[in-house]
Homo-oligomer: A and B are copies of this chain.
Amino acid sequence: MHDRRHSGLPDLESLMGQFHAYLSKKQLKSTRQRDLIAQKFFAAHGHISIEELLNLSRAENPRIGYATVYRTLKLLAECGLAAQRRFGDGQTMYETAGDTEHHDHLICIECQHVLEFQNDDIEHEQERVARSFGFSLVRHRLELYGLCPRARGIKGGWCPNEEQRKLSD
């Protein structure tokens, strides 16, 4: 149902390629900083905040500043490679938005973590709704908020938060 995520994903090289193509089309320049930030961003291919991205980038180049991260992310958004998202109260997050791939979000309101999923039935139904109003559908956003098994009090229940921790250690 959603393992598309792990196969058809554009690879880093192709994403960087798209980015560079956009820059040169607009007569803008490729710089170390932009490349570094874009690579970190693509590598994280999930949800990342400006601050996290800054920290990742500073690990390799400590002199990178907030402004450059903001500016680079704005470029990435312009060329459709990043999408701005503002969940609950927290900071603004960005995510990769390759054309081929789309996912929706399932968010635990207790541990705050975010799972991605994809469901074709929902997508089709959305198409139908839009058509029924005479609209042509361009894009959408679907976020489900709920409680993960752990938060629901299921003992030994699985929690996306911890899952994530395990993966990143």
Contact = CB atoms under 8 A, between A and B. Distances in A.
A125 B53 CA distance: 34
The complex is assembled from copies of this chain, and their number is: 2
A119 to B, nearest CB: 5
Interface string A116-149: 0101011001100110111111111111111111
Contacts of A115: 133
Contacts of A71: none
B142 A130 contact: no
A4 interface: no
A8 interface: no
Contacts of A143: 140-142
A84 B143 CA distance: 14
A122 B129 contact: yes
Given A122-B125, A142-B142, A152 B136 contact: yes
Interface in A51-93: 84, 86, 88-89
A147 B133 contact: no
Contacts of A141: 141-143, 145
Interface of A: 1, 84, 86, 88-89, 106, 108-109, 115, 117, 119, 121-122, 125-126, 129-130, 132-149, 152, 154, 157-158
